[in-house]
Amino acid sequence: MNFFRYSSPSTFYPLAGKLIPWFGWSALLLAIVGLWIGFGLAPTDFQQGEAYRIIFIHVATAWMSMFIYVVMAFWSALSLGFNTRLSGMMAQALAPTGALMTFIALWTGALWGRPTWGTYWAWDARMTSELILLFLYFGVIALRNAIDDDRRADRACGVLALVGVVNIPIIYFSVQWWNTLHQGSSVSMVAAPKMATIMLAGMLVMAIAVWFYSIMAALMRVRCIILERERGAAWTGQLTQPGTI
């Protein structure tokens, strides 16, 4: 099977339609399990009390917010490099989900900060970087909306996303650079985690749930974008006939 078969919107459209239920139901199932672990099984933190439980949503969305920007930049690079139509559409489809994840991460962070630090907002490096990330997403979305020609929008947003991706490492290393109020990462690839295994399990399950949700949302959105842009093509006309996907 040739993998590049699915790089065309007309072949990717039905594939995306088949994948959406799988990712959607898995996301729902994992979210239920993750929230059950987080709010039911995980023990109360002896320092932070019950308030810490919001991290099960906060950490998952914060990871996702940064990861989606990298994925968006990846599709942008493909779009710029190979001039493929679907890559630009994928980048366009990912931006709103990324902005949503960033917003949820900021919001839950503020709600967690109030009982724990005593303030909704602090000008800490990581929070500020996350806020900048939200602005970067808004910038990409606004630039897209300002350009009428889809192909020009793809390429312009591609350049912007690639320039903005420089910001991601700054977010990630800002904790070490400025080292202010935000606590250091509790989860690391190299060292043993500094938290109970059950909490870690809940967080990882939630992370995968958010991941699958994002894939589902992006696929649903890319299907709409494909239909919108390919409305003149013959294959979209056939979709209205019964018996097709």
Partner 1 sequence: MMSEPSVATLQATAPASDSGAWAGVRWALARDLKLALRSRAELGVQLLFYVIVVSLFPLASTPEKNQLALMGPGVLWVAALLASLLSLPRLFASDHADGTLEQMALSPYPLPALVSGKMIAHWLTTGLPVVILAPVLGLQYGIDGEAMTALAAALLIGTPILSLLGAIGAALTLGLRGGGSLLALLVLPLCVPVLIFGAGTVDAVHAGLGVTANLSLLGAGLLVAIVGAPLAASAAVRIALD
Q: Which residues bind partner 1 (CB under 8 A)?
A: 80, 128, 132, 135-136, 138-139, 142-143, 146-147, 151-152, 155-156, 159-160, 162-164, 166-167, 170
Q: State the minimum distance, in angstroms, from the CB of residue 44 to partner 1.
A: 37
CB neighbours of residue 197 within 10 Å = 9
d(CA 127, CA 86): 33
Task: Tell me how far apart the alpha carbons of residues 142 and 147 are, in angstroms, rounded to a whole number.
Answer: 9
CB of 121 to partner 1, least distance (A): 16
Of 30 and 89, which CB lies nearer to partner 1 in the complex structure? 89
Least distance CB 184 / partner 1 (angstroms): 19
Of 51 and 77, which has the nearer Cβ to partner 1?
77
Dihedrals phi, psi of 244, to nearest 5 degrees: -110, 165
- Nearest distance in Å: CB 147, partner 1: 6
Structure tokens at 28: 């729902």
Closest CA to 133 of 177, 93, 166, 89: 166
Q: Identity (one letter) of the amino acid at 215?
A: I
Burial class (CB in 10 A: 0-12, 13-18, 19+), 47: exposed
44 vs 83, beta carbon nearer partner 1: 83
Comparing CB distances to partner 1, the nearer of 68 and 136 is 136
129 or 214: CB nearest partner 1: 129
Q: How far is the CB of 182 from partner 1 (least distance, A)?
A: 15
Give the tokens for residue 15.
């594939």
Sequence-distant (6+) residues with CB within 8 A of 69 are 98, 133, 136, 137, 161, 164, 165, 167, 168
